[in-house]
Structures are given as C-alpha cells and as structure tokens.
Homo-oligomer: A and B are copies of this chain.
Amino acid sequence: MTRTLPSWSDGPTRDAIIAFAASVSSGPDAVPEAERVAVFDNDGTLWTEKPMPTQLHFIVQQWKAAVDADPSLADRQPYRAAATGDLAWLGGAIDKHYAGDDSDLHAMVGAILASTAGESVDDYEAQVAMFYRDAQHLTLHRPYRFAIYQPMIELLRFLESHGFTCYIVSGGDRDFMRPMTVEYYGIPPERVVGSAVGLTYDDDARAVRYGSTFDFMDDGPEKPIRIWSRIGRRPLLAAGNSNGDVPMLRYVQGHPRSLSLLIHHDDDGGRGDAPYDKGAEQALAAASDHGFTVVSVKRDWSTVFPEA
C-alpha cells in the first residue's frame, strides 16, 4: 500500500494536513461535500517560479519574435531587454514591483497587452499549448511539466479523495495557465482563476478576442473577490507562498473549519529550487500572527519535483 502523501516527510505539517482532511470529511461534524473547496496559488505554490515565472519566459519569447518582425521595437523596453537577453532588467521590474514601484511593470503590461490585442482566445490557447510542448525550464533543463511540485500534486489528489474540489487562484494570467492545468495538475479550465485581460466578442467570427486593456490583477485583496465571483463559497483550505496570498489565506479563516498553508522556500538549493524569502516577508510575518501552517520545503518535502 502506498503511503499517504508519499513526498511529504513525517512531522507536524503532514500530520496537520491529514488530521484536517479527516476531521472535515467524516463523522457527525463533517462539512457537506459540496462545501469542501480548496484554493491554490500557482507560481511558487504548485510549481517553481524561479529563476522567473514561466509566463515571463513565454512573454520574453513573444517580445523577441516581435523585435525580429519589427527591429525598431528594440529602441524601447521591455523589447530591448527581451531582444538582448537582459534578464536583469526584467527581474528588476519585478523587484521594483515588490518595492512598490510599478513603472517598469507598467511598460511590461503594456507590451503584454499589445502581444494579444485582437487575438482570439482559441488562437492564444494553441500558441500557449505549443510553448508548453517545446519549452525547457531555464535552470532545471527539463519541460515545465516536470517543474511542478510533486508534494502539492499529491495534496490535490489527497484532498479530492476526501471530497474536496480544488481550484487554482493565481496572480498569473488565467488563459496562460489553462492550457496546462489539466495535464500538469488535473485541474480543468473552469477551475482556473487568474488575472485577466479585457475581452470582446466578435459576432461575425463567433470568437472571443482579447482587448487592449487589462481587466484585473488577481493578487492580494482581489483573490477573495475572484473566489467569490467564480465559486460563490468561502473555501476551507488555501495554499500560497507570497505576500499576495495573505488576503486569501486570511479569507478562508473566516470559515469555522479552515487550514491556511504557506509554502516557505527555505530549501537549501540541493533540489534545484533556490531558497528565497523575497516577496514573502509579509506572508511569513502574517503566518505567526494568524496561525497559518508553514510548509517548510526543506523539512516537510522529501521530494520536490517529479521524476522527468
């Protein structure tokens, strides 16, 4: 018989998860099955977000291709950084965002919107699916399919076996995740919640197309809002890893039976996922204030990635 949650090390974290699932799914105090909802952040929670979020890898490829088609684009950012492989500029934009300065991020968002404006959601889906088929993770040198966190996949299946319905609630672009979530995570597109570009409907082509404006960024306080909009229930369990997940981790605590998991990337690097706290400082502080269960990658996960 396979051990429950085989990639989780023995210890209080694994014990807490197993006890929680048992308590809400059995006995006279069981939560009705329809109400057993769990929500998971994606980048840094279900798969690695280092050395850069997968979506940034994809977008840099798109911008590079745009410069190939129109070399004058290289005069400005973020196209120049993409064309010259200046990952420092791109990483700096993200760092500046965490520090409260969104100027470079705005330039990136503008270029992201330009890359899909007018495109149908079906064409984008095909393009993203091709990326996932061909792309290799930049430091693990394997398909992104194998850059997912094996313990979290086991947790998804474990919760499902206790009657839970699991959703992804990520700051990443909803439609960039959907083409891989069934195969990688076993989560269908209708259970993927993420950031969104405004859409238009083209009646002649019977096509839904991306517009030229951003609709919302599914991060921070927007996460509980999107959970209500999409699901219409308060989940029992949330898992995240960064500051933007704190409101969601707090929101589930409004349920009388809840578990909030904060993945802490304290791994020593030996498994290919560098240790980092950047972007998680407030979340780690909130964990002790509010009783989140901290999942230590180093201590609680015996295996991090699936075998390629």
Contact = CB atoms under 8 A, between A and B. Distances in A.
In the complex, which of the residues A221, A228, A247 has the most CB atoms of chain B within 10 Å of its own CB atom?
Answer: A228
Number of copies of this chain in the oligomer? 2
Interface residues of A, number: 37
Given A206-B250, A251-B206, A253-B206, A199 B228 contact: yes
A105 to B, nearest CB: 22
A175 B175 CA distance: 25
A204 B11 CA distance: 32
Contact of A254 (B206, B228, B250, B253): B206
Contact of A189 (B175, B182, B233): B233
A287 interface: no
SS class, residues of chain A in contact with chain B: helix
A196 interface: yes
B228 A208 contact: yes
Nearest to A192: B232
Contacts of A208: 224-225, 227-228, 251
Interface in A106-135: 121-122
A69 interface: no
Given A206-B253, A207-B254, A190 B232 contact: yes
Which are the 9 A-B pairs with shortest beta-carbon distances? Answer: A189-B232, A206-B254, A201-B221, A208-B228, A199-B225, A201-B224, A190-B231, A178-B232, A201-B225
